[in-house]
């Protein structure tokens, strides 16, 4: 039997069916719209499961279940294409207050050359004794 894999860069071949071959079967479920869950469906599920909570009585059985957004407010979000480039040189000129972070930035070469000596001095100083965990 010949290898049926498609070589890279070539368009996919349409599956064939004929008298000598099995008919091509659909893969996966057919595409169709999902039924919209109704308040009645939720009430019925809760009754069957002996749940301790109920559906708001103001909702009618024939109403669709309310859908609430689950994410953050994207109203003030700036699209990625509009974000200005990051100025890493400016960031490298700012030393964090944490001496351990300064040491790590030194290890990674992320401290501006003008500040390397100061950064090494800060990173080598032991933290205050009262701040150390016992």
pLDDT digit string, tens, across residues 78-127: 888 999 999 999 999 999 999 999 999 999 999 999 999 999 999 987 66
Residue 6: band (very low, low, confident or very high) from pLDDT cuts 50, 70, 90: low
Identify the pLDDT of residue 123: 92
Q: Report DSSP letters for 35-102, one per residue.
A: PPPBHHHHHHHHHHTT-S----TTS-TTSBPP----S---TTPPPGGGSPPP-HHHHHT---S-HHHH
Q: Does residue 130 or residue 63 have the better pLDDT? A: 63
Q: How much is the average pLDDT of 60-84? A: 86
CB neighbour class for 130 (10 Å; exposed up to 12, middle 13-18, buried from 19):
exposed
Look at the alpha carbons of 36, 40, 43, 45 in this order and tell me if their dihedral is positive or negative. Answer: negative
| pLDDT at position 36 | 80
Give CA–CA dist 90/105, Å, rounded.
14
Please name which of 105, 97, 83, 84 lies closest in space to residue 125, comparing C-alpha atoms: 97
- Which pLDDT value is given to residue 39? 93
Q: pLDDT tens across 24-56, in order?
A: 555 655 565 677 889 999 999 999 998 898 888
Give the start-to-end residue ranges of the domains of the chain.
35-50+58-66, 93-126
């Amino acid at each position: 039997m010949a290898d049926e894999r498609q070589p890279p860069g070539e368009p996919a071949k349409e599956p064939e069916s004929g008298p000598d071959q099995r008919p091509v079967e659909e893969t996966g479920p057919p595409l169709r719209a999902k039924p919209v869950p109704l308040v009645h469906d939720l009430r019925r599920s809760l009754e069957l499961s002996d749940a301790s909570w109920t559906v708001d009585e103001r909702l009618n059985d024939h109403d669709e279940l309310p859908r609430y957004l689950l994410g953050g407010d994207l109203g003030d979000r700036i699209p990625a294409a509009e974000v200005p480039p990051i100025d890493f040189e400016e960031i490298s000129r700012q030393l964090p207050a944490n001496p351990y972070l300064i040491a790590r930035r030194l290890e990674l070469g992320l401290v501006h050359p003008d500040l390397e000596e100061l950064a090494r001095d800060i990173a080598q100083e032991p933290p205050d004794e009262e701040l150390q965990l016992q």
